[in-house]
Amino acid sequence: MARHYSTKDFFRQMPNALLARYFQERGLFGELDFAAMRETKPDALFVAWLALPEGERNRMDAEFREIAAMSCEKGFRAILDEAAFHFEGKPDESSAFTEKLAALDDHCERAMVAFLDHQEFWKGATLFNHADSLSYWRKRKGLPHVPASVHEDGRRVLADQIRDYFRHVEGRGNNCVVETFRRANRDYFFAYPEDYSQRSIEWVNGEFDRRRHNPAFEVIYVYSQDEGSLDMNFRGANKAIEPLQGMFATAILNLPELPPDPGDTCIYDLNPLRERGFQFIYDPASGIQSVVVKKLRLSSKVVRGDRITLEADAAARPEAIYDLLDEVSKSVRLRTYNVTQVELAALVATKPDEKPKSETFRITYPNSCSLKYDDMDLKLREMLADSGIEPREPMESMELAGAEATEA
């Protein structure tokens, strides 16, 4: 869930010295004594702020919202990840940058200093942070381990293909742009096709109106050459998933077509999780302390659409779901069912001196997962691979006999 934002709260949380820098660079509030203003008591600043023209306030509020969104652990990690790309081959500069930000008091200061002093890192960092907030990525494996074409020609071809597809299939997408960023050993591609025109209720210069505008929707690709895998986030019709994957394969990987590997559609093998003795495997250094099954969805191999959903309080009893499964097996032939969705709860310590947090995530057969791409969720993805839930190589598809299992 997005954190609540208000301008006054932003002023309260940001040190006065950094607020002074921000406004002085814009030629504003030169008469205001920021040094004399009490920290967390920005009343004088807020009064001066309200006196500014609406358009000027709106432009700065958009920046404040971005800075506020980056004022957290995940935002800081995204800044460091983007900086690492720019400092590649410059270890001394990279270390100095990291130490500079780490020495600040909190993530609010780190985000503002990055915004003020390192604009070249800002856009990529905000996009990484946005991608980290998204769930239900679609994964495809079995791609050749070839480098991605990150240059303008490849991006233009991908943008044209996405535009043409949505224009002909859905009547939208008249324009499209693709941006790419490198993050560790993964390439991120952010595509922005034009959406249907909309009317929104707005206040413009004190006038209430309904204005027409053309928003963009997004298609995000995360490609790993090392793994030969592609993750994609797209909130739209399922029938567009494979065509969009195919566009990436031809435009960015320079393949003649998307490799026709039927086994590649089955990424997650969930049936082993129905066994009481299943062991999750993870590195203790990852911060993961335990993983339990909270929920199972079973889909019939015999009757299309027949499903059984079991949910138990795993916090009180880690094996509660299996006790429930034993009870159900007394009246239902469970061997005629496959596990097509699981909900797991992981107890994770993000820092040695902090209390562990519970993170719940969902995996749906064949290839949908609610985990994101921040630092902690990457460790949980690694746990899935180590535990055999996400095979490191394409596997044979399990028999679903038409079970409805592709929905999140």
From first to last of its 408 residues, what are the pLDDT tens digits of the chain? 456 899 999 999 999 999 999 999 999 999 999 999 999 999 999 999 999 998 899 999 999 999 999 999 899 999 999 999 999 999 999 999 999 999 999 999 999 999 999 999 999 999 999 999 888 888 888 899 999 999 999 999 999 999 999 999 999 999 999 999 999 999 999 999 999 998 888 887 778 888 888 899 999 999 999 999 999 999 998 899 999 999 999 999 999 999 865 454 557 889 999 999 999 999 988 999 999 999 999 999 999 899 999 999 988 899 999 999 999 999 999 989 999 999 999 999 877 777 888 899 999 988 888 888 777 888 999 999 899 997 655 443 444 434 444 444
Contact 247, 165 (CB under 8 A): yes
pTM beyond 0.85, yes or no: no
229-234 and 198-204 as β-strands: parallel, antiparallel, unpaired? unpaired
- Nearest-CA neighbor of 313 among 304, 321, 305? 321
Contact 266, 142 (CB under 8 A): no
Angle between helices 16-24 and 107-117 (to 10 degrees): 20
Cα(200)–Cα(212) distance, integer angstroms:
7
pLDDT at 202: 81
Burial class (CB in 10 A: 0-12, 13-18, 19+), 44: middle
pLDDT at 203: 80
Contact 184, 32 (CB under 8 A): no
Cα(186)–Cα(148) distance, integer angstroms:
10
- The kind and range of the H/E element at 300 are strand 288-300
Q: Dig out the tokens for 176 from the structure.
A: 């499209």
Cα(379)–Cα(363) distance, integer angstroms:
15
- Nearest-CA neighbor of 345 among 308, 383, 400? 383
Is the bond preceding residue 15 a cis peptide, omega within 30 degrees? no
- The kind and range of the H/E element at 177 are strand 176-183
pLDDT at 261: 56
pLDDT at 180: 97
pLDDT at 66: 96
pLDDT at 371: 87
Can you give the residue ranges of every domain in the chain? 7-132, 137-260, 271-386
Q: Dig out the tokens for 349 from the structure.
A: 């310590």
pLDDT at 2: 53
pLDDT at 248: 98
Contact 389, 395 (CB under 8 A): no
Cα(347)–Cα(397) distance, integer angstroms:
30
Contact 14, 46 (CB under 8 A): no
Cα(383)–Cα(395) distance, integer angstroms:
18
User: Quick one: how far is CA 84 from the chain centroid?
Assistant: 19
